[in-house]
A = this chain, B = another copy of it.
Amino acid sequence: MSLPDVQALRSDHDYKLTRVGVTGVEKPVQIDRPGASQTHALHACFDLFVDLPAGQRGIHMSRNLEAIGEVLDETVREPRKGLEWVVEDTARELLERHDYASVAEVEAESTFFVEQRTPSGAETMEPYELVAKATADREGDLRRSIGVVVTGMTACPCAMETTQHILEDEQDATIENAPSVTHNQRNETLFMIDVREGNDVDAEDMVTLVEASMSAPTFELLKRGDEARLVLQAHESPRFVEDVVREVLARAKKAYDHLPDDTVITVKSEAQESIHKHNAFAERVTTLGDLRDGDLQTDN
């Protein structure tokens, strides 16, 4: 008895599907970043999709696992230089294995570690979230995104001004050459860049850019002097989530002036407010072209 290809049958309802695939596929991935002293081993979680035309009942889901498996096997011989290259190659593989599909989409998330230095120069290994995404279509169009989520610190500019006012007016306090107290909190900021083939950005550079856009970076290991200096730094650069997003945009415009106008930039900043039970949030999705035109002038 020969088995029918159940997935290849006609569906009861002739509707195409936007995305069909598998989610939550966990894999170890070897990365060989140029300039890095060693191969990085990431633990990444993948989602892999293709579209499905109206005339066919289902996709052959095991092919998604074969596609990611083959790309990862290749990386043993020839490590990719970033997670974004792994998802790009996997998207291409998906299109080859699903001949009925017109688009393939792959997303991956991981944590990566960067050796940083505290204000006093001590070495500390800091974790950041890494996001990579690629879409490939039959016409050969390919987009690749790389993003980082950075945990840092923001100090509120508004409360700082109000507390100074209250202290001086009502409590007869004197504060000279020093910042006033305010609420500060943990902030998580996503910075994502979406490039076409041939262009390249480095995740570690993106981390540096985001950390400079907050009131202060955070570190896992801080001795007492470092801790105080970080607190002072944060109070000298008090920032709303709105400020953080705009700082990232301004720095991205400068840092990525070699990338084309259609490069998409996404920035989201969320502060786990210390004086509220809810979070504060700001977001901008735009292109380098729009940032270059200047928002204020063009009202883009």
A247 interface residue, CB < 8 Å from B? yes
Q: Which one, B55, B65, B176, B224, contacts A221 given CB within 8 A?
A: B65
Q: CA–CA, A147 to B185, complex, Å? A: 26
- A249 contact set on B, CB distance < 8 A: 13, 15
Min CB gap A124→B, angstroms: 8
Q: CA–CA, A219 to B273, complex, Å? A: 10
A6: nearest chain-B partner, CB-CB: B158
Copies of chain A in the complex: 4
Contact with B along A3-28 (1 / 0, CB 8 A): 11011000111111111111111111
Min CB gap A248→B, angstroms: 10
Q: Among the listed stretches A86-94, A194-202, A236-244, A256-264, which one makes contact with chain B, having 4 or more residues with CB under 8 Å of it?
A: A236-244
Min CB gap A243→B, angstroms: 7
- A280 contact set on B, CB distance < 8 A: 21-23, 61
The answer to whether B177 and A20 have CB atoms under 8 Å apart is no
- A169 contact set on B, CB distance < 8 A: 1
A186 interface residue, CB < 8 Å from B? yes
- A247 contact set on B, CB distance < 8 A: 12-13
In residues 152-205 of chain A, which contact B (Cβ within 8 Å)?
153, 157-159, 161-163, 165-169, 171-186
A69 interface residue, CB < 8 Å from B? yes
- A131 contact set on B, CB distance < 8 A: none
- A3 contact set on B, CB distance < 8 A: 161-162, 165, 224
Q: CA–CA, A153 to B183, complex, Å? A: 9
The answer to whether B277 and A126 have CB atoms under 8 Å apart is yes
The answer to whether A222 and B165 have CB atoms under 8 Å apart is no
The answer to whether B276 and A218 have CB atoms under 8 Å apart is yes
The answer to whether A219 and B275 have CB atoms under 8 Å apart is yes
- A120 contact set on B, CB distance < 8 A: none
Assuming the contacts A15-B291, A186-B185, A221-B62, asked whether A23 and B177 have C-beta atoms less than 8 A apart, the reply is no
Q: CA–CA, A235 to B57, complex, Å? A: 18
Min CB gap A191→B, angstroms: 14
A42: nearest chain-B partner, CB-CB: B43
The answer to whether B277 and A15 have CB atoms under 8 Å apart is no
Can you report 13 A-B residue pairs in the complex whose CB atoms are below 8 A from each other?
A12-B247, A22-B276, A24-B278, A24-B279, A26-B113, A49-B283, A55-B296, A162-B228, A166-B228, A166-B229, A181-B232, A218-B277, A222-B276
